[in-house]
């Protein structure tokens, strides 16, 4: 079923960000330094180039922008090892607990998630605030806790921004779910997706 929700917000930092009414979002947050400077610059230039070719709305042109940026970003994340602090079991468990806490408190619905060594994927809906406010709060809290666990005084844990894309149909829901489940295997971390410890769904 195709969904055409009303756009309720748009902003652009390094990447474009759309928020829609009752949105189901595919979100990727990666660690600071997980993508080398050359990769970050390439993604920024790609985003600016695509922005000139599209308009700031949530139509098919916005979908093309999102998909192109995501493919480039994920190529770097799955092949680089500059920062892999999320491979630390204590940090990974803390992030999982932070996700679960927001579900229990009725702030998020998480249809699927996975914690990778240098990034996380969330397929989610936000219930009590905007996506931007909610992710900033999540990053602030988990970043503070991770800095203590990893002994990173004054250092950034998360990259300043994140990637988000809202799902437009049930078919896209299924594609996003399958991508998140399969990401550890695709990245060569396990032979079977079910063997990866840090992922699942909180309904």
The domain that holds 92 is classified in CATH as: 3.30.70.1290
Specify the 3-state DSSP secondary structure of 30.
strand
pLDDT at 160: 85
51: in domain: no
User: Is residue 70 in a domain?
Assistant: no
Q: What is the pLDDT of residues 82-115, one digit of tens each?
A: 578 999 999 999 999 999 999 999 999 999 999 9
In this prediction, residue 1 carries a pLDDT of: 67
Exposed / middle / buried, residue 61 (Cβ in 10 Å: 0-12, 13-18, 19+): middle
Q: What is the mean pLDDT of residues 125-142?
A: 95
What percentage of residues in the chain have a pLDDT greater than 90? 47
Q: Are 82 and 35 in contact (CB under 8 A)?
A: yes
Q: Are 82 and 146 in contact (CB under 8 A)?
A: no
- Does 192 reside within a domain? yes
Query: In this structure, how many other beta carbons lie within 10 angstroms of the beta carbon of residue 122?
Result: 22
Name the band, by pLDDT with cuts 50, 70 and 90, for residue 40. confident
Domain that holds residue 102: 15-34+84-202
- Mean of the pLDDT values across residues 69-77? 75
* pTM assigned to the model: 0.81
Residue 65 is assigned to a structural domain of this protein: no
43 occurs within a structural domain: no
* CB neighbour list of residue 78: distance below 8 Å, 6 or more residues apart: 183, 186, 187
Q: β-strand 7-12 against 16-20: which pairing, if any?
A: antiparallel
pLDDT at 195 over 80: yes
Mean pLDDT across 173-181: 95
Assigned domain for 10 exists: no
Count up the domains in the chain and report the number.
Answer: 1
Give a yes or no: residue 181 inside a domain: yes
From CA 203, how far away is CA 69, in angstroms rounded?
Answer: 29
Is residue 2, in this structure, part of any structural domain at all?
Answer: no
Distance CA 112, CA 59 (A): 25
| pLDDT for 97 | 96
């Amino acid at each position: 079923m195709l969904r055409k929700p009303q756009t309720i917000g748009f902003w652009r930092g390094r990447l474009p960000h759309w928020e829609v009414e009752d949105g189901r979002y595919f979100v990727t947050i990666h660690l600071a330094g997980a993508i080398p400077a050359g990769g970050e610059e390439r993604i920024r230039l790609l985003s600016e180039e695509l922005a000139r070719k599209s308009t700031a709305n949530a139509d098919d042109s916005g979908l093309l922008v999102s998909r192109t940026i995501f493919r480039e970003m994920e190529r770097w994340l799955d092949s680089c090892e500059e920062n892999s602090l999320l491979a630390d079991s204590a940090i990974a468990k803390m992030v999982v607990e932070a996700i679960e806490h927001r579900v229990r408190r009725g702030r998020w619905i998480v249809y699927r998630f996975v914690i990778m060594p240098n990034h996380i994927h969330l397929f989610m809906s936000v219930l009590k605030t905007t996506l931007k406010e909610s992710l900033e709060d999540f990053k602030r809290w988990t970043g503070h806790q991770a800095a203590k666990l990893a002994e990173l005084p004054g250092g950034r844990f998360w990259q300043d921004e994140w990637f988000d894309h809202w799902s437009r149909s049930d078919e896209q829901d299924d594609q996003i779910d399958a991508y998140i489940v399969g990401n550890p295997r695709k990245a060569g971390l396990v032979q079977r997706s079910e063997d990866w410890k840090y992922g699942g769904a909180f309904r």
